[in-house]
Amino acid sequence: MARPPSVDQLARSLADSGLPHPLRVEVARQAIADGEVERAGELARERARRLLVPVINATGVLLHTNLGRASIAHHQDASFLNLELDLSTGKRGSRQAAVGELAATAVGAEAAIVVNNCAGAVLLALAALPGDRAVAVSRGELVEIGGGFRVPDVMAQSGARLVEVGTTNRTRLADFQRAIDTQGVGLALHVHQSNYRIVGFTEAVSIRELATLDVPVLADIGSGLLDAACPWLEGPPPSWLAGEPAAKQSLVDGADLIMFSGDKLMGGPQCGILAGSRALIDACASHPLARALRPGGLVLAALQNTLGHYLRREGSEIPFWRQATETTDSLRQRAERVADAVGDRTQVIETKSVPGGGTLPGVEIPSVGISVMGDLSDELRALDRPIIARLDQARTILDLRTVDPADDDLLVTGLAST
């Protein structure tokens, strides 16, 4: 039997995998121990694919949670930031001040702060505001979000006492008033049913109705639509947004504090934003949890960039809105170019995209894609630039709405190689 190479020698031979040397050493040791030295290169490629890498989203899901939700473009050279430095005084400042002011301006709030995600925003608000008071929530809004996390569990961790009111399908304003009168409720929480719908014999209490109660109203609006009028877009708001709660209108309706995600319909980095009255925001900002939940400079810089596009009404600069509003005529032209370049095995088809990310359940957006017979999903994922497609009745579908036009040539190359 041939003597196996040394670990160091085999690890050095894997340099073209792009892995750091310590990871190549791990691969080399495993290959030698398993008697699979000849597969070391393949094992190194498999190891490299467990790292974060750019992929092409051809699923038609605009906010694909497994793919990082909103596609964002943010570039920053190596540099220090005035993250917690007040340049006007030279003294220590707040990392929340600059971006918080932008977020507040964008939604018409007195103040705003940023945390690491929307669940964190809800946790902080409930921890900072109720003290020993109870929080009333409709039974129809006790939602479960991704990963099995549930609103009652988040509330329990905050120290707030949950008071369920109404029933699963019907809750009235009188249910909240009764809880205030008899159970010491000091806050009313409205939770948007962002990832499901209850239809049929139903009744729910709106934010505007809750605002008539003599307690502060908190609203978890979830997906992060900033303004129902979409002033950052040319023309009217997309019809598929109808009924989606927006931050600006929720505050106008009387919510004292709103919480929403930054990486869904807002199209920014993962974060949670709290906006509303200055007194409530100050209470949240001064709570010890605010430090544990605060985002880093990179997230704040990316969020500042996204909010800047909104305030300048540059919707076309935000990848989510650029993809969501591309016309089907434009998508068809792109699909035809890809299909012509690949050959007869492809077919241009009408298809449907979805918002995804736990937003707008049941909503479909007309789109155009490429269809290829057979299941090519494994082969497309194995490419140097992985392409993530979807299957439909033994066909591989590549939806062009979620593909950046700059990546069309990569679709051609990828399909041609399968």
196 and 236 in a single domain? The answer is yes
Q: What is the mean pLDDT of residues 43-61?
A: 94
Q: What is the model's pLDDT at position 147?
A: 59
Q: What is the mean pLDDT of residues 291-301?
A: 95
187 and 251 in a single domain? The answer is yes
386, part of any domain: yes
For residue 387, pLDDT beyond 60:
yes
Q: Which residues pair with 272 in a beta bridge?
A: 115, 261
Share above pLDDT 70 across residues of the chain, in percent, rounded to a whole number: 97
Read out DSSP for 374-402? S--HHHHHTSSS-EE-EEETTEEEEEGGG
Q: What is the model's pLDDT at position 4?
A: 78
For residue 336, the domain's CATH number is 3.90.1150.180
Give residue 380's identity as a one-letter amino acid code.
L
What residue has token string 């109870």? Answer: 134
For residue 249, pLDDT beyond 90:
yes
Count structural domains, the chain.
2
For residue 126, the domain's CATH number is 3.40.640.10
Q: What is the model's pLDDT at position 362?
A: 85
Q: What is the model's pLDDT at position 148?
A: 59
60 and 170 in a single domain? The answer is no
147 and 226 in a single domain? The answer is yes
CB atoms within 10 A of CB 62: 29
Q: What is the model's pLDDT at position 74?
A: 79
Domain boundary among 294, 317, 340: 317
Q: What is the mean pLDDT of residues 393-411?
A: 96
Domain boundary among 317, 348, 380: 317
Q: What is the mean pLDDT of residues 134-157?
A: 78
Tokens in use for 371?
A: 């269809």
111 and 253 in a single domain? The answer is yes
Q: What is the mean pLDDT of residues 219-232?
A: 94
Q: What is the pLDDT of residues 182-218, one digit of tens each?
A: 998 999 999 987 666 777 777 889 999 999 999 999 9
Higher pLDDT, 129 or 287: 287
348, part of any domain: yes
Is the Cβ–Cβ distance between 33 and 43 less than 8 Å?
A: no
> Which range, of 33-47, 156-170, 291-305, averages the lowest pLDDT?
156-170
Is the Cβ–Cβ distance between 217 and 255 less than 8 Å?
A: yes
pLDDT-derived band at 168, boundaries 50, 70, 90: confident
For residue 116, pLDDT beyond 80:
yes
51, part of any domain: no
For residue 156, pLDDT beyond 80:
no
130 torsion bin: left (phi>0), alpha (psi -120 to 50), beta (else): alpha
Domain boundary among 264, 298, 317: 317
Q: What is the model's pLDDT at position 400?
A: 98
pLDDT-derived band at 5, boundaries 50, 70, 90: confident
179, part of any domain: yes
67 and 179 in a single domain? The answer is no
For residue 64, pLDDT beyond 70:
yes
- Cα dihedral 37/43/48/50 (nearest 10): -150
> Which range, of 249-258, 333-342, 359-368, averages the lowest pLDDT?
359-368
DSSP-H helix ranges across 79-234: 97-107, 118-128, 151-158, 173-183, 207-210
CA distance 262 to 317: 16
149 and 280 in a single domain? The answer is yes
What residue has token string 């473009």? Answer: 73
Non-local (6+) Cβ contacts of 294 within 8 A are 95, 96, 114, 115, 116
31, part of any domain: no
Share above pLDDT 90 across residues of the chain, in percent, rounded to a whole number: 80
Q: What is the mean pLDDT of residues 51-64?
A: 96
Q: What is the mean pLDDT of residues 141-168?
A: 78
CA distance 403 to 378: 18
pLDDT-derived band at 152, boundaries 50, 70, 90: confident
Residues in the chain: 418
192 and 67 in a single domain? The answer is no
154 and 261 in a single domain? The answer is yes
Q: What is the model's pLDDT at position 190?
A: 94
397 and 272 in a single domain? The answer is no
> Which range, of 50-64, 116-130, 194-208, 309-323, averages the lowest pLDDT?
194-208
The boundaries of the domain holding residue 196 are: 97-317
187, part of any domain: yes
Q: What is the model's pLDDT at position 195?
A: 64
369 and 258 in a single domain? The answer is no
192, part of any domain: yes
Among 390, 415, 386, CA closest to 401? 390
343 and 312 in a single domain? The answer is no
> Which range, of 71-80, 130-139, 233-242, 300-309, averages the lowest pLDDT?
130-139
Is the Cβ–Cβ distance between 247 and 226 less than 8 Å?
A: yes
Q: What is the model's pLDDT at position 75?
A: 82
Give the CA angle between residues 351, 355, 359 to the nearest 5°: 145
Q: What is the mean pLDDT of residues 383-393?
A: 94
Give residue 353's identity as a one-letter amino acid code.
S
For residue 171, give the 3-state DSSP assignment. Answer: coil
197, part of any domain: yes
